[in-house]
């Protein structure tokens, strides 16, 4: 493995094509539990379970532009996100965390700052953060992924979401994310706790 990109998988010996095709075509189910049960069929390892969940979320959950622009309309619980198939980053991360938990994979939400579509060059970051992503533990090591950004992007005017799968955000090395995100390693749900060796 390349020491700069300490991924838990090596593209030369583990292929995801068949799993990706299956997971991205699994339809929406009436509960997160049933969905995860269907997604895990044929998986043999934690990385395969994680990949199946990742592919489903990034191919079925649309960024909720209306909810982003009007916070009173945001739906973030896993069941609401599954029902509407829309979420802002918090909804993506909570759904992903729930699905991983059901699959037996340790997963936490990590909050920080990002340079999203509303970022203006030179803007200083303040406060607790404006974006959330997940950290997952595989083989005793923590890894970051961002299913919100992996699913697609919001137009420059901020009014439309386009599904455009982006592999880059699956188990991305922390150095490739915004630096303040990785520095503190604070877990959003519990400010006092940190992810040991998360990044």
Q: What amino acid positions are annotated as catalytic residues?
A: 89, 131, 146
Computed on alpha carbons and rounded to an integer, the radius of gyration of the chain in Å comes to: 16
Contacts of 83 (CB under 8 A, 6+ apart): none
| DSSP state at residue 113 | -
Contacts of 149 (CB under 8 A, 6+ apart): 133, 166, 169
69 vs 85: CA distance, rounded Å: 17
| DSSP state at residue 122 | T
Contacts of 179 (CB under 8 A, 6+ apart): none
């Amino acid at each position: 493995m390349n020491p700069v990109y300490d991924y838990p998988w090596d593209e030369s010996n583990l292929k995801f094509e068949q799993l990706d095709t299956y997971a991205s075509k699994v339809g929406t189910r009436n509960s997160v539990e049933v969905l995860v049960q269907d997604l895990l069929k044929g998986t043999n390892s934690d990385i395969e379970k994680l990949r199946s969940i990742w592919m489903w979320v990034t191919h079925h959950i649309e960024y909720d532009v209306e909810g982003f622009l009007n916070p009173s309309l945001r739906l973030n619980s896993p069941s609401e996100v599954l029902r509407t198939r829309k979420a802002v980053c918090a909804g993506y991360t909570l759904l992903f965390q729930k699905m991983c938990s059901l699959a037996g994979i340790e997963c936490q939400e990590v909050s920080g700052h990002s340079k999203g579509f509303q970022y203006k060059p030179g803007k200083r970051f303040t406060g607790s953060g404006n974006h959330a992503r997940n950290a997952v533990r595989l083989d005793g090591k923590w890894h970051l992924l961002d299913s919100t950004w992996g699913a697609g992007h919001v137009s420059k005017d901020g009014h439309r979401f386009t599904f455009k799968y982006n592999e880059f955000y699956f188990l991305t090395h922390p150095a490739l994310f915004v630096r303040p995100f990785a520095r503190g390693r604070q877990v959003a749900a519990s400010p006092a706790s940190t992810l040991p060796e998360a990044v």
